[in-house]
Structure 1
Amino acid sequence: MDLDLALVRAFVATAGTLHFGRAAEELNTSQQALSKRVARLEELLGLRLFERQGGTRLSEAGERFLPAAREALAAGERAVAAVTGAGPVVRIDTWGHLYAPMRTVADAVQALGSVRWEPGPGRDWPSVAGALLRGDTDLGFGRVHPLPDGRDAGLTQRLVRLEPVDVVLSPSHASAGADALRPADLRDSVLWCPAELSRLDFLGRFADEFRITRRHDGPNLGLDHFLRHLRDDPEAFTVFPADEPLPDHMGLHCVPLVEPTPLYAWSLTWRESARHPLLNTLLHGFTEAGRTRRWLEYDPHRDWLPDIDHPKLAARCRGGGM
């Protein structure tokens, strides 16, 4: 049978939301029209793709059909781009938003000319890994770490940046006037985390490594909310990328960390079985930006990198990216 991509698109949108009304809004159509398209696709396939009792969920056949349906839509987009000259769109989901991952992506994009980007926010690395495996996005960008139960199997990553972090202190903190601090100097202070610590692999490893036992976390309510609370606690600190400017009106103190300097690892990741046609071009853009901006400098006598990040660096060196 010949697949009608309009029907496939209706199915994929509904599978993504598990709600016919929201899927119809996403496709700018009526719920009735969307339901008819899904029903027509089910009729042509001779299979029920959704279970509709007690809410909407994918059937077993729908689960099997979804990855191939997404790839069919992507192939259709590439076919249209090939004849219109528009070029394929690259979907990239980022996470670690308070650390502003788009700064690094934007620097790399400058080297890529006419590539069309479609950035999207991911909640965290597990959610972006799921989106990559489902085919909902082409690339992910943020800090990658191993996921439980091998949930990241099938994904490939490339380390593109090691960013030093500063300590950020309340103006009333006892060390606010220091020219530099060692991580060990912070053991009697309280590490403030911008989200639940279970979702912040780097901060958890930093606290464990330097024996910082007093920790405060909570829901991510945005940068301003987080920094206001940090400013008002004389015992509090957090760590923040050295190249990311903080709001001037907060009055916070940024102090370099030394002996050692912690590094935050930014990686690009994708599903190896569904490589975007522009992937090699994109990797070249990140490599060029990293070379000119010295993004991958690492001195083991000066810097600290979590153990799980060392294999990324070794792989990058073997690939000639340093």
Structure 2
Amino acid sequence: MDLDLAQVRAFATAAELLHFGRAAEQLSISQQALSKRVARLETALGVRLFDRGTGLRLTEAGERFLEPARSALVAGRHAVAAARGTRQTPRLDVWGHLYLPMRTVARVLDALPDLDVEPGAGRDLPSVAAALLRGEIDVGFGRVHRLPEHLDTGLTHRLVRLEPVDVLVGADHPLADATELRPADLRDSVLWCPAEVARLDFLRQFADDFGITERVGGPNLGLPHFLSRLRTEPRAFSLFPADCPPLDDPGVRAIPLVAPTPLYAWSLIWRDDQRHPQLDALLRAFTEIASGSRWLEYDPEHDWLPEAAALTPLASPVRRPPEHRR
């Protein structure tokens, strides 16, 4: 039989979201049209792909069909590009926007003037992982932590940078005049999270490990709003990469964290069974710059990494002497 890729795309999107209404909205079609496409696909295959009882879930046949279906969609996109003779530019989406991930990506891309990459923005790791599995993008860049099992299959990720973070507090915070702080010094403060606390894996694990019980989450409305919250809440603090450009805000203090120094792990993630032809060049560039810029220096006796951030690096992490810790 010949597969109808529109029907396959309807199935794959519904399988990812497990909701026909949201899948139809994502594909910009009506829910009725999406249901018809899935039903026609099931008729052509001679099997039920979804159990439509209480909630929507995949049948065993649907689970078997999902990965080959995703591969078929990627292959279709590649076939169209080949037929048109167009150069397929790799799409690289970033997330973790408050911590300015494009700083690192831009530095690597500047070193590759002959590599044409299309940067884009993803909402968070799960959304980028889902886009990779659908074949909509080729590479992701951000903090990789534990993914739901249905999104983790078939994805490869590599650590490319470990970045120290400072603590940010307002000028009225009791610890604002300190020259350096230990994470344990923050136990009587309130962690400000610019999103739902459960979604910010790094901040949540930091608070769990260092006994910070008071946590407040709110919408991420950008850096000015983030800094304004710290200025106006005397007990509030948050974490911010130490290598970011200095913050132009006299009402906020950036203080180094020591004993241990938290490190924010930046990684690349891609779908290994559908590697873009230019992926290897991108990986080599990250490896070279990480080595030359000491991006992977890590001393387990003095640095802190969440357990889930212990990822396979492009190059082996090395100990950084105390005089080169920041």
Question: How high is the TM-score relative to the length of structure 2?
Answer: 0.74
Match of 2:228 in 1: 228
- Contact 1:155 1:270 survives alignment (8 Å): yes
| Runs of 5+ unmatched residues, structure 2 | 319-326
Match of 2:212 in 1: 213
- Contact 1:145 1:308 survives alignment (8 Å): no
Alignment of 1:122-201 (within 5 A): 122-123=123-124, 125=125, 128-129=128-129, 132=132, 138-146=138-146, 152=152, 154-201=154-201
Change (3 A) 1:86 1:180: farther
Identify the range of structure 1 (82-91 vs 27-36) with the bigger mean alpha-carbon deviation: 27-36
Alignment of 1:112-131 (within 5 A): 112=112, 113-117=114-118, 119-123=120-124, 125=125, 128-129=128-129
Question: Partner letter of residue 192 of structure 2?
Answer: W
Change (3 A) 1:293 1:171: same
Counterpart-to-counterpart distance in 2, 1:291 and 1:30: 50
Change (3 A) 1:108 1:64: same
CA displacement, residues 43-96 of structure 1 (integer Å, 9 cap, x when unaligned) = 433344456677766555444333222211211222232344433354445443
Offset at 1:220?
3.7
Match of 2:264 in 1: 264
Offset at 1:227?
3.3
Counterpart-to-counterpart distance in 2, 1:204 and 1:310: 13
What is the percentage of aligned positions where both structures have the same residue?
Answer: 57
Counterpart-to-counterpart distance in 2, 1:17 and 1:7: 16
Identify the range of structure 1 (63-72 vs 157-166) with the bigger mean alpha-carbon deviation: 63-72
Offset at 1:129?
4.9
Counterpart-to-counterpart distance in 2, 1:20 and 1:26: 10
Q: Secondary structure at the match of 2:217?
A: coil
CA displacement, residues 4-35 of structure 1 (integer Å, 9 cap, x when unaligned) = 33443444445556666765665566777666
Identify the range of structure 1 (61-70 vs 306-315) with the bigger mean alpha-carbon deviation: 306-315
Q: Secondary structure at the match of 1:217?
A: strand
Change (3 A) 1:187 1:162: same
Change (3 A) 1:4 1:217: same
Offset at 1:145?
3.4
Change (3 A) 1:222 1:36: same
- Contact 2:287 2:315 survives alignment (8 Å): no
Offset at 1:254?
1.5
Change (3 A) 1:49 1:206: closer
- Contact 1:168 1:239 survives alignment (8 Å): yes
CA displacement, residues 242-281 of structure 1 (integer Å, 9 cap, x when unaligned) = 2334764583111233454322111112344444443322
Change (3 A) 1:120 1:254: same
Question: Partner letter of residue 120 of structure 2?
Answer: P
Question: How high is the TM-score relative to the length of structure 1?
Answer: 0.75
Match of 2:280 in 1: 280
- Contact 1:193 1:215 survives alignment (8 Å): no
Counterpart-to-counterpart distance in 2, 1:17 and 1:146: 18
Match of 1:2 in 2: 2
Identify the range of structure 1 (283-292 vs 147-156) with the bigger mean alpha-carbon deviation: 147-156
Q: Secondary structure at the match of 2:264?
A: strand
Q: Secondary structure at the match of 1:8?
A: helix
Match of 2:298 in 1: 298
Q: Secondary structure at the match of 1:290?
A: helix
- Contact 2:141 2:269 survives alignment (8 Å): yes
Offset at 1:165?
0.9
Question: Partner letter of residue 160 of structure 2?
Answer: V
Question: Partner letter of residue 213 of structure 1?
Answer: I
Offset at 1:186?
3.4
- Contact 2:90 2:116 survives alignment (8 Å): yes
Counterpart-to-counterpart distance in 2, 1:24 and 1:168: 42
Offset at 1:206?
3.2
Match of 1:72 in 2: 72
Alignment root-mean-square deviation, CA = 4.0
CA displacement, residues 182-202 of structure 1 (integer Å, 9 cap, x when unaligned) = 434434433333344444343
Alignment of 1:23-38 (within 5 A): 37-38=37-38
Identify the range of structure 1 (15-24 vs 287-296) with the bigger mean alpha-carbon deviation: 15-24
Offset at 1:98?
2.1
CA displacement, residues 263-312 of structure 1 (integer Å, 9 cap, x when unaligned) = 211111234444444332221232234345432233556x5132637853
Counterpart-to-counterpart distance in 2, 1:243 and 1:184: 22
